[in-house]
Structure 1
Amino acid sequence: MTARRDIEAITHRIRERSKPRREIYLSRLDAAATAGAARTVLSCGNLAHGFAACGPADKADLAGDTSANLGIITSYNDMLSAHQPFETYPQLIKQAAREAGGVAQVAGGVPAMCDGVTQGQPGMELSLFSRDVIAMATAVGLSHNMFDAAVYLGVCDKIVPGLVIGALAFGHLPAVFIPGGPMTSGLPNDEKARIRQLFAEGKVGRAELLEAESKSYHGPGTCTFYGTANSNQMLMEIMGLHTPGSSFVNPGTPLRDALTKEAAQRALAITAMGNDYTPAGRMFDERTVVNGIVGLVATGGSTNHTIHLIAMAAAAGITLTWQDISDISDIVPLLARVYPNGLADVNHFAAAGGMGFLIRELLDAGLLHEDVQTIWGEGLRPYTIEAKLGDGGVVVREPAPAKSGDEKVLAPFPKAFQPSGGLKVLTGNLGHAIIKTSAVKIERRIIEAPALVFDSQHGLNEAFKAGQLDRDFVAIIRFQGPKANGMPELHKLTTVLGILQDRGHHVALVTDGRMSGASGKVPAAIHVTPEALDGGVIGKVRNGDIVRLDAEVGTLEVLVDAGELSRRPQAEADLSGNGHGFGRELFAGFRDLALRADHGAAAFGLV
């Protein structure tokens, strides 16, 4: 089945735009693939170093050129709930590799930081650039040229995009991504949000807040709301980089372990040493990218991916734009309501039919490219399944349910929650921005109000505590872009602005920073580019200027005469405190080199 004509048209324009860079990328990939099988080009001294710590059987296999060697890139640490399950994966993968006649080695580790821990803290200013560090650390691990394929252990916010970029730098190698799965359901997300608002208003204390947070984030696995971490897992499956049905299986279960072993064996089966060679860089093409965007907007996924998808695509020689994402969002309906776009969590989404149901609905509607290459083989249709544990502990797959288990969580295509996905580009004299409207009520999508200008989220929160914000306004939070301070997420604004909106005020946010997958009920024009430090008009807005945000038609304007704006000097901010402490001094070069948000915000030359 082919994709609808409008999806094909967007894909075609991406392909045509990308052709020069994509051809260069693929020629380099082919050159790497034909330069010699991994290990065979190494000297005896090189090779001896590469397997010195292995057991006799693995040494014997690696000394020859008939057994495939699987590299493991892991983001394991045991502080973060989402990555703690990866502790046992390398042994499972090595066992699976031996059973398949191959070898597996841990090629390297990459850092994994949690935005949930660093929200509102200085460490958050390292978060976005940690993606680039992860990509580079992946390259270091694979640079030994010991491997015929690689598996990637990552889940959360910047980790998966960084791993994808690293994998595409070694695009001649097959790449299989292995998830950890979500934690089991705890305190409902809407109840957690209610307690946060009560705390912000001084109606409950820190003990009550910590109890609520601890009941929500309570065990191994990803957080259960539909933020960037779970958007990552959706993307990896709909783009064909996961084995079918593996994204949302809870950690520490027999099925999770069986899926991990199966993924390792699949990676060995698709090396150049066999008949199903599937190099990651060829598999990841324009159709794959479009499928990822369709999945993102159909599920109300994370706004972070309006940055990450551009950087990931660029790593494969594909030039993607915000307009591409916005145009796809306009024609793809919203089929899932998972918090913050609804009350359910990702476990409820999985129970209602999950990825198998979603992919089938989108395929049958002609909104996905079915004729793509995946790690599982040719075509996306094999992903319209549910994975279960069969006899002997092996994975078996059954067709996804014909009907949604809960149409309030996962809707069939004819009963979509809204006709568009809810990610939209805003344009106007303030520049370009992204807004996510899937959780914003229709009557809140057009805001015209006086600007209140702050140079940090802390400034706005202090004004709230001082009782200065009980009115209609558009909050301008500037000097939060990649070049200014690494573009941190500004979640400390979510609760305060939500309270003010609940009080009946018309409020909105405009910022050159990020809000991520937790963008919620308050209209937020984020990722404004050019950023204030890069000469953006957001740096010329003054208190009292009327700002109009129209998420229906897609405009973002400060209603000030063009001549007046041109005469205004650019605001300046004291960013000296953002340049040191918590390792921020080590990232000065990243801030200097960072591309614009709409170009992927990478600190190395992908665009």
Structure 2
Amino acid sequence: MAILNSVVAKVTRRVVERSAATRSPYLEGIAAAAAQGPLRGALSCTNLAHGFAASPGDDKAALKALRWPNIGMVSAYNDMLSAHQPLGNYPEIIRQAAREVGATAQFAGGVPAMCDGVTQGQPGMQLSLFSRDVIAMATAVALSHNMFDAALCLGVCDKIVPGLLMGALSFGHLPVIFVPAGPMPSGLPNQEKARIRQLFAQGKVSRDELLEAESRSYHSPGTCTFYGTANSNQLVLECMGLHLPGTAFVNPDTSLRYALTAESARRVVGLTALAGDYTPIGRIVDEKAVINGIVGLLASGGSTNHTMHLVAVARAAGIHVNWDDFDDLSRAVPLLSRVYPNGKADVNHFHAAGGVGFLIRELLDAGLMHEDVQTVVGPGLRHYTREPVQQAGELVWREAPIQSGDVDVLRTAADPFDGQSGLRLLTGNLGRAVIKTSAVAAEHRVVEAPARVFQSQEAMIDAFQAGELVGDMVAVLPFQGPRACGMPELHKLTPILGVLQDQGHRVALVTDGRMSGASGKVPAAIHVTPEALSGGALARVRTGDLIRVDSLEGNLQALVDDTEWQARDITSPSLAAQHVGMGRELFDNFRAVTSGAEQGAMSVLLDGALRAVAEPAVPGEHD
């Protein structure tokens, strides 16, 4: 076992100390629930009869006897979204596999699964972030019948996996394994897709040509192939020991994918108290596992959305992390992969080059991950340096490749793309923000330019189309945060900002909204906290103010005389029109009680139990 990197050790100690007051009660709750034994044994006869009334005869007999483990399935299946369509036939595969090892499996419930790719730039996008907490609650409802000895969570995309995980952690006494669907095969290269989007933004290609390019990129069942939030989810879950090893990036509708799904069912049966190797999820997801997830995210150049999602997931397990932890780890962790938008390759190329197993082995051998953790396949993260294959029809694991299959996609810790990973914390008189720099060229990592303030991305797009955006510029979009309008991604700005940068202008974006898991070549200071609607300084910016976005020194500053700066009013525009229609009026309570981005942008309805035990971590605290 390699000697643990001193920064990783320091941040882990800090998180353990910060979390002591909330982690201990969480673990006590797990122990109390586990002490009750198989939970359906505590149900009354009427309760239990309702629970198995629709089951086949053999399953009904097993459920009556309380001798077989019963597995609950919680799924994000729907047949509109390519990433989740393959999950439709998983329940029968799981039921059959469970029976083979003396268990039953029931479909416990479904959770909503919306796609940011469909809702980008549309009113529905304002429900996207809130859907994570809805999914967490729906997961809890699905498991609330006390019929289950373990659970399988079936999901893939952006808010869905974090929501499933938060919900599962509220049943932390249950063993849980996550079961993905895998990415679609490679289609139109992502770089070519981005080029055509920029041409469309300039009016140089037609809508039909744009749609054809998008259709060739998103073309079959499976997850989108770029390395956004969905695929970051899958890599992070493996780094936390919550998948079977090597499960993340196996394509849908293949024999290997079906074999992994069946084996996930068999394995979770073995983790139940009735099977003798009791391993609850609440003990797997500890401080070391959370740090491993962050390190894997950073080393792979993953999605900025996880600066919120991993915070929220950790809090669901009684653990407090903040952006200082991300920033300190980012300076110690090298960038080992380049996958679009951080390079030309997609996740299928990453998987072929050595994939998650190669990445984790490199990080373990460099002392950048905790090896001494519990996982769903047993003690030790070294299990995850292997990859699954089929030999003579049997599922087996072998060591991941020793050498990268493509050094333009995946590298060793001794020869990284960059000695530091591409995520930074920015601080200054505008607040605290995160910026992803792994795809930003060195000459664009510091931008100092006049502000252009826009109240919406549509207003900025209109200005671009009118030819008004000339010269160097920092686009400032306040009132895009969780409490203002649900923190929609501002992904429609990516093509026009890219065009302006390609024309030789120095440009950057500053917003309390999100840019997306596909943050790319234009520097974007996002998730600014406090958000403008909560009194954040972003509301003080006026068009013409000189703004400095410095990802090298970690500075986010309005270069305005301090007396004038403090004297400016913080006036909120009317947001009423953004709170009605497309279901948005149903989320008034969420907007009113959502925490800041650094606190996970989560509803205090979910976070209330932790808040009752201890105050949340103070942003900016250090040893």
The TM-score with structure 1 as length reference comes to 0.99
Aligned residue pair count: 606
Report the residue type matching 1:375 in the other structure.
Answer: V
Match of 2:455 in 1: 455
Per mean C-alpha deviation after superposition, the further-off stretch among 514-523 and 383-392 is: 383-392
Match of 1:489 in 2: 489
Residue 414 of structure 1 aligns to a residue whose secondary structure is coil
Match of 1:381 in 2: 382
Report the residue type matching 2:83 in the other structure.
Answer: A
Report the residue type matching 2:174 in the other structure.
Answer: L
Correspondence list, 1:384-395, <5 A: 384-392=385-393, 394-395=394-395
Residue 484 of structure 1 aligns to a residue whose secondary structure is helix
The answer to whether the 8 Å contact 1:70/1:149 transfers is: yes
Note closer, same or farther for the CA distance 1:99–1:605 as it changes in structure 2 (3 Å cut).
closer
Residues in 1 aligned to 2:423 and 2:530: alpha-carbon distance in whole angstroms: 19
Match of 2:340 in 1: 339
Residues in 2 aligned to 1:145 and 1:471: alpha-carbon distance in whole angstroms: 62
Match of 2:467 in 1: 467
Match of 1:407 in 2: 407
Residue 427 of structure 2 aligns to a residue whose secondary structure is strand
Report the residue type matching 1:34 in the other structure.
Answer: A
Match of 2:21 in 1: 20
Percent of paired sites with the same residue:
63
The answer to whether the 8 Å contact 1:81/1:222 transfers is: yes
Correspondence list, 1:25-174, <5 A: 25-174=26-175
Report the residue type matching 2:591 in the other structure.
Answer: R
Match of 2:12 in 1: 11
Post-superposition CA distance 1:317-340 (Å, at most 9, x none): 001011101110110000000000
Match of 2:328 in 1: 327
Match of 2:595 in 1: 595
Residues in 2 aligned to 1:66 and 1:572: alpha-carbon distance in whole angstroms: 60
Deviation at 1:571, TM superposition (A): 2.7
Residues in 2 aligned to 1:563 and 1:594: alpha-carbon distance in whole angstroms: 31
Match of 1:224 in 2: 225
Residues in 2 aligned to 1:605 and 1:266: alpha-carbon distance in whole angstroms: 30
Match of 1:444 in 2: 444
Residue 516 of structure 1 aligns to a residue whose secondary structure is coil
Instruction: Answer yes or no: is 1:520 the counterpart of 2:520.
Output: yes
Residues in 1 aligned to 2:265 and 2:522: alpha-carbon distance in whole angstroms: 43
Report the residue type matching 1:520 in the other structure.
Answer: G
Residues in 1 aligned to 2:332 and 2:553: alpha-carbon distance in whole angstroms: 15
Match of 1:194 in 2: 195
Report the residue type matching 1:209 in the other structure.
Answer: L
Residues in 1 aligned to 2:13 and 2:276: alpha-carbon distance in whole angstroms: 30
Correspondence list, 1:560-571, <5 A: 560-571=560-571
Post-superposition CA distance 1:439-482 (Å, at most 9, x none): 00111011100000011111111000000002101000111000
Residues in 1 aligned to 2:222 and 2:409: alpha-carbon distance in whole angstroms: 21
Report the residue type matching 1:501 in the other structure.
Answer: Q
Deviation at 1:296, TM superposition (A): 0.3
The answer to whether the 8 Å contact 1:456/1:477 transfers is: yes
Residue 518 of structure 1 aligns to a residue whose secondary structure is coil
Residues in 2 aligned to 1:366 and 1:480: alpha-carbon distance in whole angstroms: 39
Residue 59 of structure 2 aligns to a residue whose secondary structure is helix
Residues in 1 aligned to 2:606 and 2:166: alpha-carbon distance in whole angstroms: 12
Residues in 1 aligned to 2:211 and 2:412: alpha-carbon distance in whole angstroms: 38
Residues in 2 aligned to 1:572 and 1:399: alpha-carbon distance in whole angstroms: 56
Residues in 1 aligned to 2:6 and 2:328: alpha-carbon distance in whole angstroms: 13
The answer to whether the 8 Å contact 2:595/2:602 transfers is: yes
The answer to whether the 8 Å contact 2:69/2:275 transfers is: no
Residues in 2 aligned to 1:212 and 1:571: alpha-carbon distance in whole angstroms: 42
Deviation at 1:413, TM superposition (A): 1.3
Match of 1:430 in 2: 430
Match of 1:363 in 2: 364
Q: Structure 2, unaligned stretches of length 5 or more?
A: 608-615, 617-623
Residues in 2 aligned to 1:7 and 1:566: alpha-carbon distance in whole angstroms: 38
Match of 1:215 in 2: 216
Residues in 1 aligned to 2:305 and 2:392: alpha-carbon distance in whole angstroms: 40
Deviation at 1:605, TM superposition (A): 4.3
Match of 1:303 in 2: 304
Residue 277 of structure 2 aligns to a residue whose secondary structure is coil
The answer to whether the 8 Å contact 1:127/1:486 transfers is: yes
Per mean C-alpha deviation after superposition, the further-off stretch among 504-513 and 1-10 is: 1-10
Match of 1:241 in 2: 242
Deviation at 1:275, TM superposition (A): 2.3
Per mean C-alpha deviation after superposition, the further-off stretch among 25-34 and 44-53 is: 25-34
Q: Which runs of 4+ in 1 moved over 3 A?
A: none
Deviation at 1:385, TM superposition (A): 1.2
The answer to whether the 8 Å contact 1:3/1:370 transfers is: no
Deviation at 1:485, TM superposition (A): 0.2
The TM-score with structure 2 as length reference comes to 0.97
Deviation at 1:37, TM superposition (A): 1.6
Report the residue type matching 2:406 in the other structure.
Answer: D
Match of 1:281 in 2: 282
Residues in 1 aligned to 2:296 and 2:43: alpha-carbon distance in whole angstroms: 42
Match of 1:502 in 2: 502
Residues in 2 aligned to 1:46 and 1:472: alpha-carbon distance in whole angstroms: 67
Residue 203 of structure 1 aligns to a residue whose secondary structure is coil
Deviation at 1:6, TM superposition (A): 2.0
Report the residue type matching 1:474 in the other structure.
Answer: V
Residues in 2 aligned to 1:305 and 1:66: alpha-carbon distance in whole angstroms: 40
Residues in 2 aligned to 1:211 and 1:507: alpha-carbon distance in whole angstroms: 30
Residues in 1 aligned to 2:443 and 2:193: alpha-carbon distance in whole angstroms: 25
Residue 414 of structure 2 aligns to a residue whose secondary structure is helix
Residues in 2 aligned to 1:246 and 1:602: alpha-carbon distance in whole angstroms: 28
Match of 2:612 in 1: none
Post-superposition CA distance 1:545-593 (Å, at most 9, x none): 0000110010100011221111111132121111111100000000000
The answer to whether the 8 Å contact 2:7/2:328 transfers is: no
Post-superposition CA distance 1:467-505 (Å, at most 9, x none): 000210100011100000000000011000000000000
Q: Structure 1, unaligned stretches of length 5 or more?
A: none
Residue 114 of structure 2 aligns to a residue whose secondary structure is coil
Match of 2:580 in 1: 580
